[in-house]
Each structure stands twice: as C-alpha cells, then as structure tokens.
Amino acid sequence: MRVLVVGSGGREHAIVRKLKENKTIDHIICAPGNGGIAADAECVDIKATDVEAMTDYAVSNDIDFVVVTPDDPLALGMVDAIEAKGIPCFGPRKNAAVIEASKVFSKNLMKKYGIPTAGYEVFDDAEKALAYVLEQNRWPAVIKADGLALGKGVLIAQNEEEAREAVKELMIDQSFGEAGNRVVVEEFMTGPEVSVLAFTDGKVIRPMISSMDHKRANDNDEGLNTGGMGTIAPSPFYTPEIAETCMREIFLPTVAAMNAEGRTFQGCLYFGLMLTPNGPRVVEYNCRFGDPETQVVLPLLKSDLFTIMQACHDGTLEDLDIEWSDQACACVIEASGGYPQKYGRGYEIFGLDENGQCEGVTVYHAGTRRGNGMYLTNGGRVLGITAVGRNLSEALDKAYEGVNRIGFKDMHYRTDIGGKLRDL
C-alpha cells in the first residue's frame, strides 16, 4: 500500500508515525511535510491547499489511500476531488466539513437538533451585531467569525469598548477576510474544556481518549490565543458518567443530524466541549484531528490506525474493537519566541539526533526544516515534546525532561501544561 498524508504539522507527524506501525503499508508520502516528518516518510512539496496538484499527484503516483488532515483542504473539497478519481480517502467531504468551516452552520445544526451549546444570534451587519451585544449587556460577550480563521476568530469582550473593537476587527476591518462577513454572538460559558476526537463512518461513532489543550500563549492561561501550546490525555475531568452523557446528548445526535441533513460525516469529528455547571456543551466542532490533541491521543491507541481509517471510509467501523492504553500522555510545544505574532526562523535546534528524535521522548515536528545537515526552526510552533507515563504526573515529568534537553534560540514554551491537573 502507498499512503499519502496531506499536511505539515505535529499532528501529521503523529499520524505518519502511527501509520508506520501497519505492515500492509510499504510507503508513506507526506505533502508537504516538514524536516522531521522527512525522517519517517517521503516528503513531497505540494501545498496542502492545492487540491488540483494533490489530486494529480495521487493519481500519477499510484496512491492507494489518502489521509486529508488540515481544515482548509477539507473545506475546499479535497476528499471529493480525490475520491472522484477512485482513490479512497480518510476525511469528510466538503458538504460535511462545513461543520467546522461555518460556525453559523454548526450553531444552526445544534439548535435544530437540540444539541446542547451556548445560546446565540447570527449577524451580517456590524451595527446590528454591536447593538445586540450592548442591549444584552452581559459580560463577557463572545463574538465569533463565521468562517475559518486559523483558530483566532473568537473574540471575548469584557466590556463595551472591547465589544466595539471586536465587531470592528471582524466585520469592518475584516482581519480574517470573508470569514468575518457573518458573526455569531454567543452566551459566555464556564467550566473545564475537554477535547474529544471521534472516529466515525457516518453510522457509528467511536470516541478516542479525551484530551485537554492549552490555547493561551503564556503560563496561567495568559497572553494571546494560539493553535495550542500543549496537551494532556486523558482529561481527569472527563469521567465515564460525563462520557455517557456526551454520547447520548451530543455525539450520536450530531452523527444523526448530519445524516438527516444529507451531509454524512466520515472521518475524525472533533468535539470541543465545555463541562458547564449545567452539563456538557459544545463549544465548537472541528472536521479533523486536533493539533496538538492528536499528539497525545494517538500514542495511547493500541489498535491499528490504518485499519480504523479504512473502516471509516468503508462504513465498517461497527466491526472493529478499538483498544486504548490506560496510561497517560503529555505534549509540550516548543514555539518560536514571539509566536503567535512575529517570530524569527532558521535557528538551529539542539538536542536532536539524526532522525530528529531524542531518547526518552517522542519529538513531533511542526515547524522545522533540514538545512546544512541540521534541523532548523521554520514556523511558530516548532516541536511537540511528547511522553507517555503510568499517570499524568509521570508523563509530564518525562516530557519536561525532554524539553530541558531540546531547544533553540528564542524558544518559548509553557511551564504549566497539565499543571493544575497533576494531582486530580
């Protein structure tokens, strides 16, 4: 089998490494990949969003199966295009990827099918949006761009001034382009956040181990929102009882709702949940594996990932038993100083061996490239230093021990990943 993985981040590296365990796969290609992925797969320089070039590549290189991972190619219909050529893919079609690509779609879906989420209103007019926020006079107010905005399209306003600024940024200045043509104004929720990724073939849904992201750039959840600065799995907040409630009230109803809308979802469906005092609520859906959630979830998967991916495509997920380790996993992101704003590139990374790894931890590469025989920084999030342990505390200790040995100029990382959860 020849398998093509589309994407270039730490998440894709984790997927590639897991796929390597399957003995029927003899060649893995990653497009575009990165410096560290190149030690595990053949990297081909095609942009993840170039649907036409990716499709041509798959057809002319005898690819047997394609894993489309990032949100933009899914929203652009890459799965539809490649499957139209007769090559099976893991990932939702365009009409199902809309569950992430449009917050207005997903909020309306949840309302229509009674799936618990924050109350909301939709606006395509800046004045009306602001008037509504001011009239509600409930703070903080949550204002979200409808479309994809690199995870940065959610603004939380603490007062009138910030609300004016948020509406202006999204709708008038269009900082996220057309994504801000419409906004969702949403009720503010409180409680621990949990990410649950789930495999689905459109008929059954199999949640993976729960995880928890740390989105803010700095310790104590301060600073700007990022793509994610670190993760732990499982989340100690996600009890079997809560899992059962989520299955009944959120996961199964979502699969059924997408089917009822003629938008059957196949692939990895990501539930961003908040465990509020009134029960679990959906904060957001993603149509794909999370990054860096994948980096802590897949190391705990005991079953074969490729078999599961094929079953999601074939509609045979019901026949599979999926087994998980009872250990814990932690991932600490080493980022470039300045991320998520301006940062430098091209710094030498210390502490890695020839394969971009380091003993005692698994190093998932995100923004790296090879140059002059070295690994160099090449993005905001550079590496995900990951370790499995008997419990969360042990996993975190091992991961941070790795962080102490691997680094680069101007490196920034959070020292408190999983901190509050160690002793729960």
- Out of 34, 210, 286, 378, name the contact with ligand GLY by CB under 6 A: 286
> How many residues of this chain bind ligand GLY (CB under 6 A)?
7
Q: Could you give the angle at the alpha carbon of 36 between the alpha carbons of 33 and 38, nearest 5°?
A: 60
DSSP 317: G
Q: C-beta of 146: minimal distance to ligand GLY in Å?
A: 16
**Are the C-beta atoms of residues 383 and 363 closer than 8 Å to each other?**
yes
293: partner contacted, choices ligand GLY, ligand AMP, none (Cβ within 5-8 A by kind): ligand GLY
The CB-based long-range contact list for 106-115 (8 Å cut-off, 24+ gap) reads 106/282, 106/284, 106/285, 107/184, 107/186, 109/254, 109/257, 109/258, 109/261, 110/282, 112/257, 113/253, 113/254, 113/256, 113/257, 113/260, 114/253, 115/249, 115/250, 115/253, 115/254, 115/257, 115/282
* Residue 372: CB minimum distance to ligand GLY, A: 32
Which CB sits closer to ligand GLY, 295 or 357? 295
Instruction: Kindly state whether residue 279 participates in binding ligand GLY, applying the rule CB under 6 A.
Output: no
Which amino acid appears at position 395 of this protein? Answer: A
Interacting residue ranges for ligand AMP, rule: CB under 6 A: 118, 142, 144, 151, 154, 186-189, 193, 215, 272, 283-284
**Which of 70, 236, 253, 290 touches ligand GLY by CB under 6 A?**
290
146 binds ligand GLY (CB under 6 A): no
Query: Which residue number, 216 or 405, has a Cβ lying nearer to ligand GLY?
Result: 216
Residue 388 phi, psi (nearest 5)? -100, 145
Q: Please state the three-class secondary structure of 219-287 as a single string.
A: HHHEEEECCCCEEEECCCCCCHHHHHHHHHHHHHHHHHHHHHCCCCCCEEEEEEEEEECCEEEEEEEEC
Cβ-count burial of 216 within 10 angstroms (0-12 exposed, 13-18 middle, 19+ buried)? middle
Least distance between ligand AMP and beta carbon 276 (Å): 9
Our finding on whether 264 is near ligand GLY (CB under 6 A) is: no
Could you say which of ligand AMP, ligand GLY, none residue 414 binds, taking C-beta under 5 to 8 angstroms by partner kind?
Answer: none
Least Å distance, CB 168 to ligand GLY, is 25
CA distance 32 to 216: 27
Look-up of token digits 């199966």: 65
For the bound state, the minimum distance from the C-beta of residue 270 to ligand GLY, rounded and expressed in Å, comes to 7
Q: Which 71-100 positions form the footprint of ligand GLY (CB under 6 A)?
A: none
Tell me the three state secondary structure of residue 11: helix
Residues in region 208-247 near ligand GLY by CB under 6 A:
213, 228
Q: Which is nearer to ligand GLY, 75 or 204 (CB)?
A: 75
Of these partners, ligand GLY, ligand AMP, none, which one is at the site of residue 228 (CB under 5 to 8 Å by kind)? ligand GLY
DSSP one-letter code for 107: H
Of residues 173 and 188, the one with the C-beta less far from ligand AMP = 188
Q: Which of 255, 284, 288 is nearest to 271 (CA)?
A: 284
Out of 32, 77, 151, 279, the only residue in the binding site for ligand GLY (CB under 6 A) is 151
* 40, 80, 293, 304: which one binds ligand GLY (CB under 6 A): 293
In the bound complex, what is the minimum distance in angstroms from residue 188's beta carbon to ligand AMP?
Answer: 4
User: What whole-number distance in Å separates Cα of residue 228 and Cα of residue 212?
Assistant: 10
Question: Which one of ligand AMP, ligand GLY, none is in contact with 14 (Cβ closer than 5 to 8 A by kind)?
Answer: none
Q: Specify the pairing of strand 27-32 against strand 2-7.
A: parallel
Which residues are near ligand GLY by CB under 6 A? 151, 213, 228, 286, 290-291, 293
